[in-house]
Structure 1
Amino acid sequence: MESSVRRTPEPGHSLMAAAAFAVAVLATALVGGSAAAGSGEVYARLDLPAWAPPSWLFSPVWIALYVLIGVAGWLVWRAAGTQGAMVFLAVYTLQLLLNAAWTPLFFGVGLYGLAFVDIVLLAVAVAVTLLLAWRHSRTAALLLAPYLAWVCFAAALNAAIWAAN
């Protein structure tokens, strides 16, 4: 009879999994980054709320968040394995896809309303990802908390920009 206790993955498997999470998050960042080329000019032309952060702040925040997202995914995988975290991994993938879609929608084609729908769905997906992570790794869930907070803030900013523009 197979034990239900998860064994620590082999170091090589764990390193490959960490690389896979890094590549997935990097791909998400690259889609957003390429769509964000020239976004500083677009952002400067928008009618922004008084509480909108300066454009230079977005890159360092997202870099830090992407690192946290990748590490969180890897920690859950390490704790539960692919089979044990199948639902988590599906929702994790969904939130990466929604994340990648937002920047092209907002900055690439200026569809602020559709971008808002995307970011609301992203916030829900991140919240579910965090809750699913909690079952396997409290650390992973805590690493996702700043991401959820930032996405909720960004959703409010998106709504304000959509209303004003």
Structure 2
Amino acid sequence: MDKDLLIRIVLSIIICLLVGTIGALATQSSIDTWYVGLMKPSWSPPNWIFAPVWIILYIMMGIAAGIVWNRGFYHKWVKVALYHFGFQLILNGLWSIIFFGLEQPFFALLTICGLFILVILTIKWFKVVNRWSAALLIPYILWLAFATALNFEIWRLN
């Protein structure tokens, strides 16, 4: 593997995991208090599943971003792809802060809907640069679809 590619992948994974850490800190503030008291749909997964799923997704996101970044930031499509990626990553971190930190499921729902749209656009632009990097984001968009439905149901039930 190319040394520059490896460095970019590692840096991208670190950035993604840092965003995940911020989200985890916000989550910890209310996961054992406010969240347990919420009504949830019968298909809501156990709390322990979220951390490992997100760690895997952040690693896959970082690999995808590193591959795109390695194509050269001077390239117009790489810039567009990484800008979309950066904005969706910001919304990703904000969702946890809004849902768990501020305990606002409705505003979190609006945020995750925007996030979902941005990830679709990110996948589109990643595919322009490298189809494998786009494919690495497919589990992420599938999980986001599930998370959006779960967020909606929690808001609706409460």
Q: Report if TM-score (shorter chain) is over 0.5.
A: yes
1:25-80 deviations in whole A, cap 9, x for unaligned?
Answer: 122111101101141443321100111111111011101101100000011122x2
1:120 correspondence with 2:83: no
- The corresponding residue for 2:96 is 103
Tell me, yes or no, if structure 1 residue 66 matches structure 2 residue 66.
Answer: no
Say which of 44, 47, 51 aligns to 2:39: 47
* 8 Å Cα contact 2:8-2:67 kept in structure 1: no
The count of corresponding residues between Structure 1 and Structure 2 is: 155
Q: Report how far residue 144 of structure 1 moved.
A: 0.0
- AA aligned to 2:10 is A
1:83 is paired with a residue whose SS is coil
Which of 4, 7, 11 aligns to 1:20? It is 11
Specify which of 132, 138, 159 is matched with residue 131 of structure 2.
138
Q: Equivalent of 1:77, from 64, 69, 74? A: 69
Q: TM-score, normalised by structure 2?
A: 0.92
**In structure 2, the residue corresponding to 1:39 is in which secondary structure?**
coil
Higher Rg of the two aligned structures: 1
List gaps (5 residues or longer) in structure 2.
none
Amino acid of the structure 1 residue aligned with 2:124: L
Question: What code does the residue aligned with 2:82 have?
Answer: L
Q: Which portions of structure 1, spanning 4 or more consecutive aligned residues, are displaced by more than 6 angstroms?
A: none
The alignment's C-alpha RMSD in Å is 1.5
Q: Which residue in 2 is equivalent to 1:36?
A: 27
> Contact conserved, 1:35 with 1:107, CA < 8 A, in 2?
yes
Structure 1, unmatched stretches of 5+, are 1-7
CA shift for structure 1 position 81: 1.1
